[in-house]
């Protein structure tokens, strides 16, 4: 899963250099496919590792974190877009790459792969 997250980071960053809409759409399709797959795997991973009586609370916390961060990410994306779309996509790719690196430093996550 770490490799897929790192690949997704590269694809997001690559959109900054795409010269036309069809190429950007193809990359966006790849991002969506990878994100969908990773979403299912990550949710399953959380559910498998939580105590059965705490699964609802763990999922509630995970969903709350995901949903509550949306407005902040939209605001940050708007600020970065003002600096240019290349800055936006390169920043998003760098954040995904950082996420993959942080996850790679966790033995628990590495064993999940």
Give tens-digit pLDDT for 65-76: 889 999 999 999
pLDDT value at residue 113 = 58
CA–CA separation, 33 and 23 (whole Å): 16
Q: Which pair of tokens denotes residue 111?
A: 């064993």
Domains: count for the chain = 1
pLDDT at 18: 95
Closest CA to 96 of 79, 72, 73: 73
Percent of the chain with pLDDT over 70: 99
Structure token digits, residue 36: 């969908």
Q: Which residues contact 67 (CB under 8 A, 6 or more apart)?
A: none
15-35 pLDDT tens trace: 999 999 999 999 999 999 999
> Which two three-digit tokens encode residue 97?
């790459």
Mean pLDDT of 57-62: 94
Domain hosting 48: range is: 2-112
């Amino acid at each position: 899963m770490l490799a897929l997250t790192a690949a997704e980071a590269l694809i997001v960053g690559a959109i900054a250099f795409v010269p036309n809409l069809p190429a950007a759409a193809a990359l966006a399709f790849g991002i969506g496919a990878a994100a969908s797959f990773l979403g299912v795997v990550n949710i399953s991973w959380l559910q498998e590792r939580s105590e059965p009586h705490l699964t609802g609370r763990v999922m509630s916390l995970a969903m709350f974190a995901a949903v509550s961060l949306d407005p902040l990410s939209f605001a940050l994306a708007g600020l970065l877009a003002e600096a240019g779309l290349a800055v936006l996509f390169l920043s998003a790719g760098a954040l995904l790459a950082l996420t993959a690196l942080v996850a790679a430093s966790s033995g628990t996550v590495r064993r999940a792969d």
